[in-house]
Amino acid sequence: MYKFNSSFRRTLLAQLDIEVITPTLQQEDIDSNIKQLKEQRTSAVTQFPNSCEIVTNKSVTKTLSEQQLEYLLSKFLKYGVLIASFVVLMGGILYLIHHRDEPAGYHFFQAEPSEFRSPLGVVTAALSGSDRGIIQLGLLLLIAIPIVRVLISLLTFLLQREFIYVIITLLVLSSLIYSLVGAYY
């Protein structure tokens, strides 16, 4: 078969001379590089064949109205959920205070009373002081928050004349309304 040549190993090891080079780098002013990059960012345009050009390094920033809309919607969602949660909590506390000694009757199914089957009935029951009505009102508020958010977005897109977003928002709004109305009727 094959013979192993031990002299090959020695010659291979003897021929390996390793030289280590340590380059020294000159220290440059870091701030000057940053200034150069900022200057290049404003004037960078890439040319392509067939007279196409792409502007590169264009910073994507939001306009003031977009920032205000995001701020408004974030605050609305945050405080809306907190208020709805507080209403449900208060209704739950009132329910426990009034019904703490009653045993739970799970032997027979009891449907939701007719007063809680419509939003107007829920509001009427909550204003009359019904603890279950207050809980239902908190849940109704929690459901209404995303719908109002979509309405605000729709109005904003109409004012900005962004008709593609208006169509998409109308589709989302119609889906939300259909799911609510379809469950009622």
- Mean pLDDT, rounded, of the chain: 77
CA distances from 58 to 38, 44, 151, 175 (A): 11, 8, 32, 37
Asked if residue 156 is part of any domain, the answer here is yes
Q: Strand, helix or coil at 141?
A: helix
Asked if residue 166 is part of any domain, the answer here is yes
Q: Output the pLDDT for position 22.
A: 64
Asked if residue 70 is part of any domain, the answer here is yes
Could you read off the pLDDT of 95-115 as tens digits, one per residue? 888 888 877 777 777 777 777
CA distances from 93 to 51, 90, 98 (A): 71, 5, 9
Asked if residue 81 is part of any domain, the answer here is yes
- The reply to whether the predicted model has a pTM over 0.75 is no
Asked if residue 154 is part of any domain, the answer here is yes
**Per-residue DSSP letters for 39-70?**
HHHHT-EEEETTTEEEE-S------HHHHHHH
Asked if residue 79 is part of any domain, the answer here is yes
As given in the structure block, the two tokens for residue 115 are: 């007063």
Asked if residue 4 is part of any domain, the answer here is no
Asked if residue 57 is part of any domain, the answer here is no
Q: Read off the pLDDT band of 182 (50, 70, 90).
A: confident
**Count: domains in the chain:** 1
Question: Which stretches does DSSP call E strand in the chain?
Answer: 45-48, 52-55
Domain ranges, residue 139: 64-99+111-184
